């Protein structure tokens, strides 16, 4: 190999390529002549009555499936179903579930039921007066049941 260094000043300053006269003036016409004109394309999706009918039927099917599969919300039970249940069976259920009266008193529904004085008096009417005195004395002394 030759270890001779090349200096830029020693190189010729000539352009190795030549362009024919008027080449860039004729270039747009040359390119246009090579382009093949394509016919106008039809849009991929067009309107047709078959598509409209199938779309409406599909939407109706979806609506029916949603209507059938969405569960209804259950409203309040009212007083009818609960009147057949005795107080003793309610107390037995609460004992089976290990729910105390104090647990029930923390729920807002129960607290709301006892907002009026008449509800509290009706509740206390069924209780023994000695039991009420005992509860009041125990709560005053700081004991809990």
Q: What are the residue boundaries of the structural domains of the chain, listed by start?
A: 108-145
Q: What is the predicted pLDDT for the residue at 88?
A: 84
Q: What is the predicted pLDDT for the residue at 79?
A: 65
Q: What is the predicted pLDDT for the residue at 55?
A: 92
Please provide the DSSP assignment of 67-117 as one string. HHHSPPPP----SHHHHTS-HHHHHHHHHHTT--HHHHHTSHHHHHHTSSH
Prediction pTM value: 0.26
Residue 94: both structure tokens together:
């609460």
The 8-class DSSP code of residue 9 comes to G
**Rounded-to-integer distance, Cα 114 and Cα 112, Å:** 5
Q: What is the predicted pLDDT for the residue at 10?
A: 79
Phi, psi of 94 (to 5 degrees): -65, -40
The secondary structure of the chain in percent helix, strand, coil, rounded to multiples of 5, reads: 55, 0, 45
53-71 pLDDT, tens digit per residue, is 999 999 999 999 988 888 7
Q: What is the predicted pLDDT for the residue at 83?
A: 72
Q: What is the predicted pLDDT for the residue at 54?
A: 92
83-138 pLDDT, tens digit per residue, is 778 878 888 888 888 887 667 777 777 667 666 666 667 767 777 788 878 888 88
């Amino acid at each position: 190999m030759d270890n001779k260094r090349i200096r830029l000043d020693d190189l010729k300053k000539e352009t190795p390529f030549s362009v024919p006269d008027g080449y860039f003036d004729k270039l747009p016409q040359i390119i246009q002549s090579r382009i093949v004109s394509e016919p106008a394309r039809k849009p991929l999706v067009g309107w047709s009555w078959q598509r409209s009918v199938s779309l409406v039927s599909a939407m109706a099917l979806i609506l029916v499936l949603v209507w059938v599969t969405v569960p209804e919300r259950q409203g309040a039970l009212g007083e009818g179903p609960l009147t057949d249940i005795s107080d003793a069976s309610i107390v037995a259920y609460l004992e089976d579930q290990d729910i105390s009266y104090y647990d029930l008193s923390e729920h807002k529904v129960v607290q709301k039921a006892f907002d009026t004085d008449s509800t509290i008096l009706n509740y206390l009417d069924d209780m023994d007066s000695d039991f009420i005195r005992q509860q009041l004395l125990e709560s005053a002394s700081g004991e809990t049941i």
